[in-house]
Amino acid sequence: MANSLGTAYVFGSPAEIVLYPSTSTTVSVFTGVITSTANEGFDISHECDTEEVKDTSGEVVGHIVSNNRLTLNVNCIPSGTTAANALLTAYLADGNGTAVISGAKVITCGGIADAVNTATSSRWIYAGGGSVKFTNAGKAMVSITLKKYPAANLTPGIAVIL
């Protein structure tokens, strides 16, 4: 493990992530621990839509912000007690699947005090776009992008058949 003298630095963050399909919040499709050995890292960003209000001479006189949201990119190495168990962690949920994250370092992002962990804020949404990379030259890699809308407490919807 790395250490430093003088100034302290922050290194990666372990966490546990549980993915759920779009149809359930109780039956998971994958549980993975993003540990110091299996975590390639994650990054979080804050985004929102903005609009400038201009007067008749074209000067900005106001600024409107809406659709506050967070994006979390997670990269981890599929791992398990056996190769078969490790392969099970190379799973991508269906669109509108959700994720519960615990054990990550507490950080504030977008005005949310504990932005990554879901015990104090809403679930993350998996909207698709993940990937599983296999290579003969090294480790496999799972990459998923998750979204969170702090103003919305979203749960799986009910399918409507017409």
Question: Is 127 within 8 Å of 145 (Cβ atoms)?
Answer: yes
Supply the pTM of this predicted model.
0.76
Q: What is the pLDDT of residues 17-33, one digit of tens each?
A: 777 777 777 666 655 55
Q: What is the mean pLDDT of residues 26-43?
A: 61
Q: What is the pLDDT of residues 50-62, one digit of tens each?
A: 999 999 999 999 9
The pair of three-digit structure tokens given for residue 75, joined into one six-digit string: 């990269």
